Amino acid sequence: MKIPIYQVDAFAKEPFEGNPAAVCPLDEWLPDELMQQIAMENNLSETAFFVPQDNGFRLRWFTPTTEVNLCGHATLASAHVLFEHLDYDRDTIQFNSKSGELSVQKKGARLVMNFPTAQLNKAETSSFLEKAVGITASECYRDTDYLYVVETEEQIRNLNPDIRSMTKADVRGIIVTAPGEEYDFVSRFFAPNAGVDEDPVTGSAHTMLTPYWSSRLGKKKLVGRQVSRRGGMVYCHQKGDRVEISGEACTVMQGQIVV
């Protein structure tokens, strides 16, 4: 069996920036175990698989160790593959996923994803979290992830978290964020429980970051920078119970998996 595969740098204007994702277009579903093995073989933070369905596509995402309910950068990468390589000729792609309906619209060089907004549930800053992150938070919230707010961009850039301690968290991951010097906010994202010690650029984390910074800064449209080693730009628009998350993407590899 030969399975097409693309590797796409999402939230990137040029190759080797942003967050790499693998994308496998399918005519029909492979066994779950095989998709997980392919994701483990790719050893990227996410591998996306999609199958045509009604007027859109069913989309699933796998880290090297587990399937996840929502992934932003691999959704962006999947839309990029459809628009740039598979001759998708409509302006908007409809994806059905474990997180419900997701749409991606092409607007110039950017792809605009429409995702459900996460909840900002106030949380206590536990000693466990402080030890894991390595600095004290000014605020902390919880949903699928922890949103851990600190004072300065410098603190974010200089973080040296205890990844092993982070595995004790009973959530997917930990978002650490602060006001930006050139951008509205900066962030980093750590998810060792999902097999990803640090994710380069995390679209789904911005479903929490956007409502928080929109409320704090009093503006609906924001520009965020995830300041991992690769780094990437994320353009955000708070729209009630939905959030638009936008970025660019570029293909860096194309080939086949032989199984």
CA 198 – CA 185 distance, rounded (Å): 18
- The Cβ of residue 46 has, within 10 Å, a number of other Cβ atoms equal to 31
Q: What letter does residue 27 receive in the DSSP assignment?
A: S
CA 43 – CA 58 distance, rounded (Å): 22
- Chain CA centroid to CA 191, Å: 11
CA 7 – CA 38 distance, rounded (Å): 13
Out of 14, 41, 46, 248, which one is annotated catalytic? 46
Q: Which string of DSSP letters, residue by residue, matches 58-81?
A: EEEEE-SS-EES--HHHHHHHHHH
Is 46 a residue of the active site? yes
Residues marked active site are found at: 46
